[in-house]
Structure 1
Amino acid sequence: MTDSSSQSFFRRHWEGYKEFWSERFSFLDNYSRFVKRDNLLPSWSDADVQEFIASDPVHGPTLRTAREAAKYGSAGAVIGAVSTAAVAWKYSRSLHVVDEIKGLSTKLKLRRNMLDFKGFKLSWSKLYI
């Protein structure tokens, strides 16, 4: 048997899918040496960052400013998310829903009156819009 027939249908499909998209995103291979490292970079603690800020007169103040900006940015994101959720919650319970329900009940009453007028007696369970 050939190699392709010994593989399952899903395996062949998945391999074709991967090949298709890897051709289209081949530019990402340029970044693989940064993303797929053999030796990972050590993580920095706050003490390491503060030591770098104190020791480097050129990039230290820039890093300090960037860290402060990140703190303000994350606080602003939280405030923005909460206020957006509050506005969405407020207007999701607006009065236009009540108007639509009143309009629907008026339609049902008119249809019921029309059916009663024609001589048909239908129960509400059999009345469809």
Structure 2
Amino acid sequence: MQDAVAQASEKQVWGFIDALVARDQRAATAAFLQLRAQGESMPRLVPLMARRVRELLGISLRLEAGEAPQDIKKTFKGSPWAADKRLAEARKADPQALRRAIEALADLELATRGGSELAEDTVALRAIDQIAA
């Protein structure tokens, strides 16, 4: 039973991150609030969010530089399905928006490590709004 709950939670985390990088503010906010209500920790979420955004920025920049998608896909560490999904996300992404998202996530990480007087969730919701805007 615990494994099923853990798998469901993992799917929710990835759903949240998918919504965030798709800049779907409503879905990202709802998913974040649900995860937090289930006890998901910020120290776990922030690095996962940052990893995906950095990955998409790297792919986006490689596409922008003219690298062929099939060459990018060959260097991807993951399933072919995941590689296709990341390529599709990167094609839709704005590199400048991804850079701003990385900055927002860095600020969020600092804030959740004691760098803010605001509650973690408040800082996180502001970062989500900024990234998804």
TM-score, normalised by the number of residues in structure 1: 0.21
Higher helix fraction (1 or 2): 2
TM-score, normalised by the number of residues in structure 2: 0.21
Q: Which has the higher contact order (CA 8 A, sep 6+)?
A: 2
